[in-house]
Structure 1
Amino acid sequence: MVFKDQLNRTINLVNTPKRIVSLVPSQTELLVDLGLESNILGITKFCVHPSHLLKSKTIVGGTKQVHVEKVKALNPDIILCNKEENSLEILQQMEQIAPVHMSDIYTLDDGLDLIKVYGEIFDCKNNATDIVSQIKIQLESFKTYIANKPELKVAYFIWKTPWMVAAKHTFINHLLEINKFKNVYGHLERYPEIDINIMSSQIKPDLVLLSSEPFPFKEKHKEELELLSSNLKVVLVDGEYFSWYGSRLIEAFNYFKTLRLNLY
């Protein structure tokens, strides 16, 4: 069986893979929802959904640092990676162990395509089709809901020290657009470092979103930014709904509705 991954790399598989190592949290959750939990052998320490996997599966490191020998010992049939989450070095190391499928996600369509491809690779097309269908239903409902809502200028923070935001050519930015959130840093690339004083005094977004991941923003960070300006509205958000692109999307649009409701 021959497949193309999202970097247009050719993946040659003799049989349907039964022994899987996943180095991407959102893809690990997707595998479980596709009915493949028993086939997952190795995961990262950040694969927290469903939470019991951290006790039942072998943890092979993080998304940026992988214990190669632990992966090798699992004798996987396939290793699942992502261009943003895993480095070229990790890809090259994993390729010495087993076929590697690389995802590369910028839009909802990319995410849906990945689900469909997993359905083919792992012979679970019906489950994949069902997940895609559920996501599309929720998306259409959200589009109807958001249609008459005002566009808001937002800054979406992913890191502190230095302060960093999500900009264009990211999945986060794509979901911000669907939410009618105009990214005030949408003209910049990827995840730039920004000056919060300039943001508050000159750019003046309607809304500042502090994500729960990868940096775990808390109430104290919200208060820190609010001190910059009395007009700055700062909200803590669940980063998984803005950055996880697998089956988590089924729940994401209801989360976005609730988020909007709580802004007023």
Structure 2
Amino acid sequence: MKIIKDQLGREITLKTQPKRIISLVPSQTELLCDLNLENELVGITKFCVHPYHLKSTKTIVGGTKKVDFDKIKALNPDFILCNKEENTYDFLPELEKIAPTYFSDITTIQDSIDFILSLGTILNRRTESQNLVEKIHFKLLNFKEFIKTKPTRKVAYFIWAKPWMVAGNETYINQMLQLNKFENIYQNMSRYPKVEINKIRYEGDPEIIILSSEPFPFKDEHAVEISTFTNRSITIFADGEMFGWHGSRLLLAFDYFKALHKKLESHF
């Protein structure tokens, strides 16, 4: 038996080494597989799309905001992975009745690295987690060298339409924007605020409008509507996984960001 702490500072008692894991967080599901824990994974959400084949090999227990507790209980898990942002804390009392439940809380790259290493220790994958972190560090340093000479651009990062919602401060997305030298015009607002697009010029007049691929499926019509209130800003449709997923997705994110900047160069 061992006692661990999650990223909310909660003490969790593990009576045995976890062998039946449920992940209620898409990015953490991907991370588990990249840590060679796919065989231990028994339950996922309908939004766990990486690796793609999991949907046909693992039990889907619901979404990230609403889960089927009976399905979870039937899987007889010994470890459940959640996230403060993706899931709701209301889950906790019911989940804790079923199995030890770990909540991650990630708003920075360092939080993500700490989580990877913590998971490696808890799930007996220290070597795999350390190797992954080393690769992330290498790619991060390489990207920082790449971005060093790029100009800072003012941006607005939209995650929802009608009501219009953006990524603000105290979010992992905002740190990804900062890393890319994108100055978030809504960084003075917390979390994911609702905004009025007819005021966007007065609230920061962004050079770039970023429409995320998740959680809302933005279309051309949304880009056109926002553009009517901006001062000739550029609108791009971005892969939300690259800006919003922590964990092993970082290995792909830095190359994606490089390609994005090269694409933007033709507009300025």
TM range (shorter): over 0.9
Distance 1:244 1:110 in 2: 12
The C-alpha deviation readout for 1:176-226, integer Å capped at 9, x for no partner, is 111111110000010000011110465310111000011121233223323
- Which runs of 5 or more residues in structure 2 are unaligned? none
Aligned position for 1:157: 158
Distance 2:144 2:62 in 1: 38
Instruction: Give matches, 1:187-202, under 5 Å.
Output: 187-200=188-201
| Alignment root-mean-square deviation, CA | 1.1
Aligned position for 1:103: 104
Aligned position for 1:79: 80
TM-score calculated relative to the size of structure 1: 0.97
Aligned position for 1:179: 180
Aligned position for 2:26: 25
8 Å Cα contact 2:200-2:229 kept in structure 1? no
Distance 1:152 1:90 in 2: 39
The C-alpha deviation readout for 1:65-102, integer Å capped at 9, x for no partner, is 00000000000010000011111211221111000010
| SS of aligned partner of 1:35 | coil
Distance 2:68 2:255 in 1: 37
8 Å Cα contact 2:185-2:203 kept in structure 1? no
The C-alpha deviation readout for 1:30-73, integer Å capped at 9, x for no partner, is 00000000111000000000111111110000000000000000
Aligned position for 2:220: 219
8 Å Cα contact 1:81-1:91 kept in structure 2? no
Instruction: Give matches, 1:92-171, under 5 Å.
Output: 92-171=93-172
What is the CA distance between 1:174 and its match in structure 2?
Answer: 0.8
8 Å Cα contact 1:63-1:86 kept in structure 2? yes
| One-letter amino acid matched to 2:143 | F
Distance 1:11 1:187 in 2: 35
Whether 1:233 and 2:199 are equivalent positions in the alignment is no
Return 49-58 or 217-226, whichever deviates more.
217-226
Distance 1:10 1:52 in 2: 34
| SS of aligned partner of 2:211 | strand
Figure out how many residues of one structure are paired with residues of the other and give that number.
264
Aligned position for 2:68: 67
Distance 1:236 1:99 in 2: 39
The C-alpha deviation readout for 1:133-169, integer Å capped at 9, x for no partner, is 1111110000000001000111000111100000000
Q: Deviation above 3 Å: which 4+ runs of structure 1?
A: 227-230
